[in-house]
Amino acid sequence: MISKVLIATDGSANAGKAVEIGCDLAAKYGAEVVLLHILLRGEISENLRHMAEIEFAKAEGGQALAKAISTVPAGRFPASIDFGKNPNQGLGELLRAWGKQILEAAKSEAYGHGFAKVETRIEDGDPAKRILQVAEEAKADLIVLGARGLSDLKALLVGSVSHKVSHLAPVTCITVR
C-alpha cells in the first residue's frame, strides 16, 4: 500500500516531529524514504533568525541572518561564504548549507529507524508547489510534513504550505503538530 514516503522538512519543531513520524510509518510499511528541504527564500522569519541566534552565539538580535551566520567559526558552519559583492549569491549558498544541515539531522533520524539508504533532495521555489512536484517525480504514496513551519506571518495571510499541500496532493498527506 505505501511504498515511498516523502517527508518535507524546514528544520522547525513540527517538521522534526514529521520526520520522526514519517520514518516510523515508512519503517512499519517497509517503504522507501525521501527527505526534502525547500530553500528558505523570501522573507526570513523571526523563528529562523532566532534559530541562528541560539545556534551561533555571536549573532545579535536584529542583525541580518546572512551577517549573523557569516561570523560563525569555519568548523561550525560554512562561514567562508562570501556576502561581499553579490549578497544574493552568498545568501543562496547559505540557504543551501542550512538545508544540508537540516537534511543531515533528518537523515540521522531515518538511520535511527533502521534505514540503510535514504534519498535526500534540496529544491528551490515555491514550497507547496515543489513538494507536490517532488512527490509526483518520486512517485510518493504518502507526504508527511509539519503543520506549521518557520514562516508564521505569511502563513496567516496567504495560507500555510501544509494547508496547500494537503488540499492539492493527489496522495495521502499527513500534517504533524
Q: Of 102, 123, 121, 110, nearest to 26 (Cα)?
A: 110
Model pLDDT, residue 110: 96
Helix (H) or strand (E) holding 95: helix 87-112
How far is 6 from 119, CA to CA, in rounded Å?
9
Q: Of 79, 77, 57, nearest to 67 (Cα)?
A: 79
Model pLDDT, residue 86: 55
To the nearest 10°, report the CA torsion of 79, 80, 83, 87.
Answer: -90
Q: Of 16, 13, 14, nearest to 109 (Cα)?
A: 16
pTM of the model: 0.75
Query: pLDDT tens digits for the chain (177 residues)?
Result: 899 999 999 888 889 999 999 999 999 999 999 999 998 775 455 555 555 555 544 344 444 555 555 454 444 444 444 545 555 556 677 788 888 989 999 999 999 999 989 999 999 999 999 999 999 999 999 999 998 765 544 444 445 888 899 999 999 999 998
Which residue shows C-alpha cell 515543489? 130
Model pLDDT, residue 9: 94
Model pLDDT, residue 89: 57
